[in-house]
Amino acid sequence: MGGYGDVQLLRDDGLRLDGRKLDESRPVSIQAGILPAADGSAMVTHGLNVAVAAVYGPMEAHPRKIQRQDRAVIDVRYNMAPFSTSDRIRPGFNRRSREISKVTAEALESVVLVERFPRSKIRVEIEILAAEAGTRCAGITAASVALADAGIPMRDMIVGVASGKIEDTVVLDLDKAEDNYGQADLPAGILPNTGEIAFLQMDGDLSPEEFDLAMEYNFKAAKEIHEIMVDALKSRYEEGDN
């Protein structure tokens, strides 16, 4: 968190700079099955973020040393396109994308029925085409829809959501300014059907009460976004386009 306390992020009328209420998410839209070469795919537009996910597999796990005798491994790559940010990003993996890839893979392994596919690998490729705070959450949401689109069995989908704190106030779904100048960010991956949490990170400063409220907002957002995820998958099959 930047923690620049002198930047005004809440307006005098109590709304946020872009006119949102404290517990209001940015608009989310989702399309499933947008990449013909992949076994499953999805595009999530969350505010100005654009995240695309492609799923390949289950396929043979190689090199052989990554194989697990009793289950599939999920190989996630989160990558930001060079043109996705204000300053161009040099292509290639960096520490940030490696960490996000790791925790995303672990979250997805918690919901995919990996024991159904011993010794195999499921590849999940997350590409961020436009970034405006919250790309890891948009990526997790996209990956979940892409896995479902690929027909991979799961206990539940994961919805990527985030809350945070600006001007000592807990708010849902930080945008770029709020992320840069806010006091805390709490991204979570929520299983909407079971109410469990498969992914959690946080940085900044939150009291126990603030954490509870932020998670309450996260669960509320997860429920809303889950409906959009389900609709995206349903309309994919209504079109009959496999």
If the CB atoms of residues 32 and 191 are measured against other proteins, the closer one turns out to be 32
Residue 72's nearest CA partner among 61, 82, 84, 81 is: 61
Q: Look at the alpha carbons of 29, 218, 213, 47 in this order and tell me if their dihedral is positive or negative.
A: negative
Residues that bind other proteins (CB under 8 A): 34-38, 41, 48, 50, 52, 54, 56-57, 59, 77, 79, 81-88, 91-93, 123, 125, 127, 129-132
If the CB atoms of residues 69 and 86 are measured against other proteins, the closer one turns out to be 86
Helix (H) or strand (E) holding 69: none
What's the min distance (Å) between Cβ of 82 and other proteins? 4
If the CB atoms of residues 146 and 214 are measured against other proteins, the closer one turns out to be 146
What's the min distance (Å) between Cβ of 172 and other proteins? 21
If the CB atoms of residues 86 and 242 are measured against other proteins, the closer one turns out to be 86
Residue 138's nearest CA partner among 18, 60, 229, 210 is: 229
If the CB atoms of residues 22 and 34 are measured against other proteins, the closer one turns out to be 34
If the CB atoms of residues 125 and 185 are measured against other proteins, the closer one turns out to be 125
What's the min distance (Å) between Cβ of 77 and other proteins? 6
The one-character DSSP state at 113 is -
The helix, strand and coil proportions of the chain, stated in percent and rounded to the nearest 5, come to: 30, 30, 40
Q: CB neighbours of 191 closer than 8 A, spacing ≥ 6?
A: 111, 155, 156, 157, 158, 159, 197, 198
What's the min distance (Å) between Cβ of 37 and other proteins? 4
The CA distance from 233 to 159, in Å, is 14
Degrees (nearest 5) of the Cα angle 108, 144, 106?
10
What's the min distance (Å) between Cβ of 58 and other proteins? 12
Amino acid at 71: R
Helix (H) or strand (E) holding 133: none
The CA distance from 85 to 31, in Å, is 22
If the CB atoms of residues 147 and 213 are measured against other proteins, the closer one turns out to be 147
What's the min distance (Å) between Cβ of 119 and other proteins? 17
